Structure 1
Amino acid sequence: MSSKVYDSAAAAVSDIATGATLAVGGFGLCGIPDALIEAVAASSTTDLEVFSNNCGVDDHGLGVLLSLGRIRRVTASYVGENKEFARQYLAGELEVELTPQGTLAERLRAGGTGIPAFFTPAGVGTPVADGGMPWRYAADGSVAIASPPKETRVFGEKRYVLEEAIIADFALVHARLGDTDGNLVFEKTAMNFNPLAAMAGRITIAQVEELVEPGAIEPGRVHLPGVFVQRVVHTGPQTKRIEKRTVRTAQGAR
């Protein structure tokens, strides 16, 4: 079996082609695969479709690819910290599908477990299920593409909406610890979307802060087994960016 370990982030993402779909881990700026994103940004790849909880901030995370005009479409559950995202969306330069956060998580998990679709109560009675949400605006501000209505069914006297699984060409994730077989350990909030994004990728690329040999991680500590991971890059410790810093005046200060 060939090694899963790549010498650099650039080598690991070198075959991500124009038009590819990417599932990207992270929650806010916590646990984002920043080295892999920067490697994609350094390539000529464009016209990407991204599935991620959010799109980073203007100059960090997926916001880097967005600012370069490399992303064509985004499926996300939160986009509030990125001004360029809002500008591109309202100008008709970016297609956006907003989905409930739990639904996005389950769509990624379903893709990784071979479940093609599932019913959920989230979004019933709203444009999420009924359709009509603006996916893309025209240059004049009119709606160029609107979301279609989704199938709903009643189970036990309660209505549910059908949501389809997400399977991406590639998944980019960050882990605190990994071994050369691809077994990964995530830290705290980074657990929220990294394992799910990893499961949804046909080819999953993991950047890890610490890389160890097989057997060094106790089986009970493994959060994501290596069967879901095809490539591993040792990128070293990650510097955590703060999305929004709030400070208060010290007591007694003027």
Structure 2
Amino acid sequence: MDAASFHDRVWAAIRDKYQSEVLPTSPPVPSVPDLTESKEEQPPVPQPSQPVEEEEEEGETEEEEEEEEEDFQEAPPPLTPPQPGSPTKEDKMPPYDEQTQAFIDAAQEARNKFEEAERSLKDMEESIRNLEQEISFDFGPNGEFAYLYSQCYELTTNEYVYRLCPFKLVSQKPKLGGSPTNLGTWGSWAGPEHDKFSAMKYEQGTGCWQGPNRSTTVRLLCGKETVVTSTTEPSRCEYLMELMTPAACPEPPPEPPADSEHDEL
């Protein structure tokens, strides 16, 4: 029997029977991956290596630095203000005519003379003030101490240099250098009543630490030369200085008159 005869005769009779015996098919269930598989069976995920990132960052940093250098090189230099040029002959003032220049010279000469006269006046006023102050002092019965007014005398010790300017002030300063300390300014004669010109008093000097202001008594002694012989501090902030001077020497007694000579008869 050929295939065409089988299909027409036999298959037409048994086709329905075979179709009823076939079970209905369900749709295929999607496959679920087995989660229980060990991690070793899973393919490793490739991780980017750290050196690659560092190389990339270094490359980016180098590129940024190159860009900054290019920007810096491309930046224009700062503008500088133009320097004033030296004056040319055209910029200079033209000379004045003879009459105007004569007036200018005369005015300058008058100005110079006025300034000189003003300086002379100030010097004269200063001299007058000094003379008025000088004549206000008591220089002794006969003015014998007047020569001390414009002088200063020093005494050097192991630690200090003492300086006495009679009728002005007394000071001391460290021997190795430093600022001077005021030991008192002129106050008055301080000798006893019968001999008040034998001592000087200098007061209101620099104040001591938690103490009074410094003061100095200068004792005058007879001598051929004017010199400071000693300086001591008998009490705290109270100094004693000795000054030798010819002005402190007593006047010699007057010489008796010579006997008159008689001519023999």
- TM normalised by structure 2 equals 0.20
Which structure dedicates a bigger proportion of its chain to helix? 2
Which structure dedicates a bigger proportion of its chain to strand? 1
Higher relative contact order, chain-length normalized (CA < 8 Å, sep 6+): 1
Larger radius of gyration: 2
- TM normalised by structure 1 equals 0.20
